[in-house]
Structure 1
Amino acid sequence: MFFLVACGSSEPPAITPPEGPTPQTGWHEIIATDSSAPTARHEAAFIGIDDKYYLLGGRGIKPVDIFDNKTQVWSSGAKPPVEIHHFQPVVWNKEILLLGAMTGGYPGETPLPDIHVYSPATDSWSTGPEIPADRRRGGAGAVIHNNKLYLVCGITDGHRGGHVAWFDEYDLKTGAWRKLPDAPRARDHFQAVVHGSKLYALAGRTTTAATNPFANTIGEVDVYDFKTGAWSTLSDTLPTHRAGNAAIVLNDSILVVGGESKDQLLAHSEVEALSVATGKWHTLDSLSRGRHGTGIIHHDGKLIMASGCGHHGGEPELDDMIVYELE
């Protein structure tokens, strides 16, 4: 089972290899037992359910890649009905929900009007609830908290503009949408997380293709308190400003992993951890190869990433999986 939130120390998590005769230190690539590999893709999603990992979406229409942690083999699943990219997935009742997504080509991608659902049990896609017409956007953060789905920020006009600070709630049981107070600032190309009773919006940018699509990165961390219904902003900013990053809660820290920026051609390899208790940042071991446009999983004592893009922009797309052993 996957745990994104757990009890633990307020200090950043210890990321060290386990004891053993020949441990592999740091991030390293994992090769499937049959030499199978994930499909090279980016602006995609990587998420886990039970003992399997799922790589979904990305530019073009690509099949779902499924990694079985027991057999250590990749297999291919069904293709989505439409091109789906620039989104953060969530899991609900062992199905994967894709929303806050774009479709189409750069730079004028359009937001998808519906939530799309992939069911691992049947290896099938279905179209879920419609997103209100005046709240559709891509590159948004998506989380689930207390049986409700939350969609935060995003961009309405592909990579050309239309940055929004919108914050919306969808009740997964009643099917009702509700507008909530806007975030303190707009951002897109990022991932949000929930720790305890708070939502954190970290990293990202306000994308403007006409000037520089990799510029305007955001360091501020905006926090929504579900108990008070109010937003606040932390005093410490993200040390390495970037977008297209992955994010995950690990014990009482929030990790921002990888990404892209105007400052370098290579995708970022930085892994930086925010202590929820102190609001301070700490630097952890860097990825073995930088990447953006994918996700990160915590499972079976490991952090795992697959695919993504190795430079800022769209090339080269990666077809590997890298792992970090947690203490």
Structure 2
Amino acid sequence: MSKFTLLGCMLAAFLLLSACVKQNIQSSQASWQNIQTIGTPHPRHEATFIELNGKFYALGGRRIQPVSIYDPANNSWTEGAKPPFQIHHFQAAVYNNKIVIAGAMTGGYPNETAVANIMFYDPKLDEWQQGPEIPADRRRGGAGVVIKNHTLYLLAGIQNGHVNGWVNWADSYNFKTNKWQKLADAPRARDHFQAAEADNKIYLAGGRTTSQITKQVFSLTIAEVDVFDLTTHSWSTLKQKLPTPRAGNATFNLNGHIAVLGGETDRPTPAHAEVEVYNPQTKTWYKLPNLNQGRHGTGVVYYNDALWTCCGSGARGGKPELLTTEKLVIED
């Protein structure tokens, strides 16, 4: 084989390898759009925003208030049932056509208590349901939640509202066997964050260690991203820290990348608008356009090649609660 043929083969192999590496996701518009919807959601923060069967659900948050349901097919908001009690500071997930809530808080600031059970909202019945009990010695709020196959993973969180008691615990609940299992502790404790799964790994991004006792409720943010391998049940930490450390953020899988949106820190206003994304293949962070309105204490829906968010708080703490709905069209 001549050296020119060898060089050609090497070049072809390099191009093939490069094509297999997933590139960063780009925005196909300059900025987020504020969507003028028919009706508005109920104002809420420390809540969730999640998609199920083509509709988006804003539920939970401070105070007892009905579910807000957005239908992208007709651009309208409608109202669902109220929860049986105040339920907030949680990351929702979907299982068996129900919205699942675990690792939540109830009660008022700063001495909120952990909700004792997994809770379900059934959109088909428009009904809240009480699920299995969380072991008393493992209850906490402000935790990360991921459901993979038939297993719920409950990660980190805080035991005593905004006072103290943050933990690095990891637990799983199998919906088929109805059994809880203690897993290896995460490398560090954190609360007020969300988790996301990609390629059989769970990423814990953002959050803080909340301490009302030392008056450091917002400032002790965590830049490190801890990763739980679902195959080996072992932990690691990314070398690449979250570029903008913040808590109260939304974290989600964006076509195999890990996206972190919004959040709050010690600065009073505004809430964070950054959207930062980690590419596991290139091991680098990149940015998508900032939100029009920074917000924390809400979620993100990825649906039909667009990101959607609504509600949340526009500044540190609970006010102002936002009514805007934003959308960003993206592409691979």
Q: Does the 8 A contact of 2:21 with 2:281 survive in 1?
A: no
Structure 2 length-normalised TM: 0.92
- Corresponding residue number in structure 1 for 2:23: 11
Work out the number of aligned pairs and report it: 311
In the TM superposition, residue 279 of structure 1 has moved relative to its aligned partner by 2.1
Structure number having the greater helix percentage = 2
Structure 2 residue corresponding to 1:230, chosen from 228, 234, 238: 234
Give matches, 1:90-129, under 5 Å: 90-129=93-132
Unaligned runs of at least 5 residues, structure 1? 1-7, 18-24
CA positional deviation for 1:51: 1.4
Task: For residues 155-204 of structure 1, give each alpha carbon's deviation from its aligned partner in whole angstroms, at most 9, with x where no partner exists.
Answer: 00000000100000000111000000000000000000000111110110
Structure 2 residue 162 is matched with structure 1 residue 162: no
Q: 2:81 aligns with which of 78, 86, 90?
A: 78
Question: Larger Cα Rg: Structure 1 or Structure 2?
Answer: 2
Matches within 5 A, 1:1-327: 10-17=22-29, 25-32=30-37, 34=38, 36-210=39-213, 211-327=215-331
Note the C-alpha offset of 1:252: 2.9
Matched-pair contact (CA < 8 Å) for 1:11–1:252: no
Separation in 2, partners of 1:95, 1:253 = 25
Structure 2 Cα separation of the partners of residues 193 and 172 of structure 1? 19
- Alignment check: 8 A CA contact 2:55 2:70 kept: yes
Q: Distance in 1 between matches of 2:84 and 2:201?
A: 34
Higher relative contact order (CA 8 A, sep 6+): 1
CA distance, structure 2, for counterparts of residue 246 and residue 161 of structure 1: 22
Superposed structure 1 runs of 4+ greater than 3 Å apart: none
Q: 1:193 to 1:278 in 2, by over 3 A?
A: same
Shift of the alpha carbon at 1:263? 3.5
Q: If the length of structure 1 is used for normalisation, what is the TM-score?
A: 0.93
Q: For structure 2, which runs of at least 5 residues remain unmatched after alignment?
A: 1-19
The amino acid of 2:296's aligned partner reads: H
Deviation, 1:31, is 1.3
Moved more, 286-295 or 224-233: 224-233
**AA at the equivalent of 1:118:** Y
| Identity rate, percent | 49
Amino acid in structure 1 at the alignment position of 2:271: A
Give the deviation of 1:147 after TM superposition.
1.1
Q: CA deviation at 1:15?
A: 1.3
Quote the RMSD (CA, aligned, Å).
Answer: 1.1
Task: Give, as a single letter, the amino acid of the residue that structure 2 aligns with 1:28.
Answer: Q
The one-letter amino acid paired with 2:28 is T
